[in-house]
Structure formats: C-alpha cells, structure tokens
Structure 1
Amino acid sequence: MSTSNQRAPMAAVGSYESILPFKAIGLDVVVLTEENSESIAPVLHKYSRSGYAVLFLEEELFVKYRDTVDEINEYTDLSIIPVPNQKGSMGIGLDSIRRNVERAVGMDIFGEK
C-alpha cells in the first residue's frame, strides 16, 4: 500500500487582519484591500482549478460573493469555509454547514433554524 505525505493545499482570502493567522501556520494567503476586493471571483476560480482542498474566506466576502461561492461549491471539490474577521462572527459558518448538509442528505437534520 502506498502512502503519500503530500497534502492538498489550503489558502485564505480576506483582509490582512483576518488572514494573518492563516499565513502564520503556512497557508497560501491573498490579502484583499479596497482597491482589489472587486477582483475576488477570478481568485476563487483560480484556487478551484489549482487542486486546492480548502479555502478560508472572510465572512463579509463570503456573503458578498455568495453566487460565486455556491457555484464553486457545486461544481468543484474546493470547500470554501467562511471565517469571521476582527469585528466578530456574523453566524455565516453555521448557515453554510446547514445548507451543505441539507444539500447532501436532502433534508435539514439540524431541526429548527
């Protein structure tokens, strides 16, 4: 049996303050500023085509680009995970998990929203 020590790469996209911890642990990061925040869709598609397994995306961006995120989650193996920024959580993570589980099993197994 062959084993591989190679792991699928992970990345983080967001403001400097929110993704700095991801850079500290060795993930690939893309720092977005006000000037380049509108160019996020090509960045997300690049990671989806490059064999990345997980992309951590700041919650505000996750909400703003929800259509692109949903498209990538639907048609690729890349998992886009929302993460809170320095302002705190918006509760998007649990909602995202609920939607993905509902899509996978065909019903909301978490009960009431």
Structure 2
Amino acid sequence: MKYLKLKSFDDLIRVVLSTQQPVLHHIDIGDRHIYLIPYAIFGNANLVYYVEMETPVKGKYVVYDKFNGSISFSDHVTPDTRLTYLPIVDVEEQNLFSEKIFKKKKKEKKGKNK
C-alpha cells in the first residue's frame, strides 16, 4: 500500500472530485482526525490519499459548490444542482495500512548529535 499525505483538506476534496470517489473516510487516531480515500491504480497497486487534522469537520457531508469552488459542510442534503455532496463515513476499524504512519514523529533537536 502506498500513501500520499496532502497539505490541506481542500487538496483532498479536489482529489476526491477528480477521481470521482463517492465517499470520504474518517478515522480517529489518538488526538488526530484522518480523512482519506483509497484509490486503486494500475494492476494491484493501491494508493491512499489522506490529510491529518487536529479537529473533526463539522457535518456528515462535504459540500462542494461547482460554480464558485467553495467547500462547506452540512448534516443534510438539499436538491440544489450547483452542489456536490460527499458523504463522510466514520471508520471503526481498518486493515488497509498500518496506523504507524500517522503516529506523531518526534523532531530531532539540532546540535545534540555528538
């Protein structure tokens, strides 16, 4: 399994929209919230795009406005055709990849390597 950590939630939403993935996955790991999409590419190669956040998004759906490109959140779907709704699914357990990749890395202090 290969993975790509993205810089922002907006980047992840652009990937979701361009790959036409119908759902966004959410995993709580420690004090962080991981939002991801698994993506199957050539042959047996699998890729996970993800972003880490300190707080969860507010809502059950990501709402993308196709006219102005804005991203918002909602707990309800409306019949507005300008909007694309991406459901956020809470994952209780997974075995796609090791959760070790999400562990906080300790920063090395400079000048301590003697």
TM range (shorter): under 0.3
Structure number with the higher helix fraction is 1
TM-score by length of 2: 0.25
Q: Greater CA radius of gyration, 1 or 2?
A: 2
Structure number with the higher strand fraction is 2
